[in-house]
Amino acid sequence: MTHRFTVSCALLTLMSVVACGSDSENGGSSGTGGTAPGSTGGDTAASGGDTAASGGDTSTTGGAPGTGGVVQGGGGMDGTGGGGPGPVSICPPGSESLTLEPGDVSAGTPIATPPDLGSDGQHVNLEGPVWIDGALYTSQLAFNGPGRILKYTPGGTLEEHIPNSGTNGLAVDGDGTLYAARQTNGSVSTFDIGNPAAPPTVVVDQYEGAYFKSPNDLAIRSDGVLYFTDPEWQEAGNTQSPRQTEERPYWVDHQRTVRAISPSPTKPNGIILSADETVLYIGGDSIMKYDVAQDGSVSNGQPFGTGGSDGFGMDCAGNLYTTSGEHVLVFSPEGTQIKRIQVGSGVTNVAFGGPERKTLYITKMQPPSLYSVELNVPGFPY
């Protein structure tokens, strides 16, 4: 799912981008992953932070976001938090120069399947995986129901962690706070994974006086700037109104001012930052890349790679992982396909986990299943 995690691994730090994944009834795209650089020092951050450039339509929701600035340092390779907006993890020194082993591989058989949701069983999905503190969290959703967040501990099973979450894409910041795209109330919200009974907290839920349609995936930059997509895939479960009339991606500055991103792929889905946070990727019926300015604004949207994508992932060498149909396709920063991972129909999203974060976890839909593949390059936790 990049980021508040997407600063470049060349700087040796990963940031997290929201993007955890999202899903579509017809195999649309959803994103996840991200990385951010930074030094391995303590978790300090400058107060404040650059505000977004003026111009364009704006809409402010929610209270002030708090401390801005880039956090240098952060959590370790296991994906634990690191003290506020900033790198959630650190890429090992030199990992930005690693070369991913090329060639096609198979993900084999599922390592886990979720317990029955109990309703709309033929239309359930796993989405938006994120690795936090030694465990993988993922959304299980039904197209006509609220769904839930599941937890997977390696060697164990998928178990319900937060019921009725109404979530799709998941991401984590440097504090270890879980962010989620929520279709049930058209918001990006945070959850307390240490207290599953605690209610979620809304971060943003409106643009120009209307609620979002069905937030799908997100990415958090190291300084707390937020990026997310809002297609209509799960809008039928949204209880808020009025709602947006257009499907589009957005970015949110430190003051929680929301701005639309244009142009974008049709039905924008996956979203992630590059390792150095200078590029934003958005998937949908196609993939586009954008330049990211210091204030968080994006410009110069251009086509990238081939085909469309549901979810995204990012490794420490800057390679982009895309989910499409039966495969996870891996593209170099220049847009050349360098690897294909065969999974099976309905692949939705990916995230790196494990003690060295070299395990690529893969989610799919119909039937909802979790797969894993071991790689030679570490990556970002969503």
| Residue in the block written with tokens 């999905």 | 125
Percent of the chain topping pLDDT 70? 74
pLDDT tens-place string over residues 21-39: 344 333 333 333 333 333 3
Name which residue leads in pLDDT, 159 or 61: 159
Q: Given a cut of 70, is residue 64 above it in pLDDT? A: no
Tell me the residue type at 87.
P
Query: Is the CB of residue 359 less than 8 Å from the CB of residue 352?
Result: yes
195: CB partners within 8 A, 6+ apart: none
Name which residue leads in pLDDT, 43 or 1: 1
- Pick from 69-73, 87-91, 92-96, 182-186: least confident: 69-73
Name which residue leads in pLDDT, 121 or 102: 102
Euclidean distance between CA atoms 166 and 164, whole angstroms: 6
- Pick from 40-49, 83-92, 196-205: least confident: 40-49
Sign of the torsion angle spanned by Cα atoms 237, 243, 249, 251: negative
Closest CA to 346 of 319, 327, 322, 360: 327
Range with top average pLDDT, 79-83, 141-145, 182-186, 193-197: 193-197
DSSP string covering 190-216, please?
EE-TT-TTSPPEEEE-EETTEE-S---
pLDDT for position 198: 97
State the DSSP code for 53: P
Structural domain boundaries in the chain: 4-47+57-374
Ordered strands of the 158-163 beta sheet: 124-132, 135-142, 148-152, 158-163
Average pLDDT over residues 337-358: 95
3-state secondary structure of 237: helix
Closest CA to 77 of 300, 339, 324, 356: 356
What CATH superfamily classification does 4-47+57-374 receive? Answer: TolB, C-terminal domain (2.120.10.30)
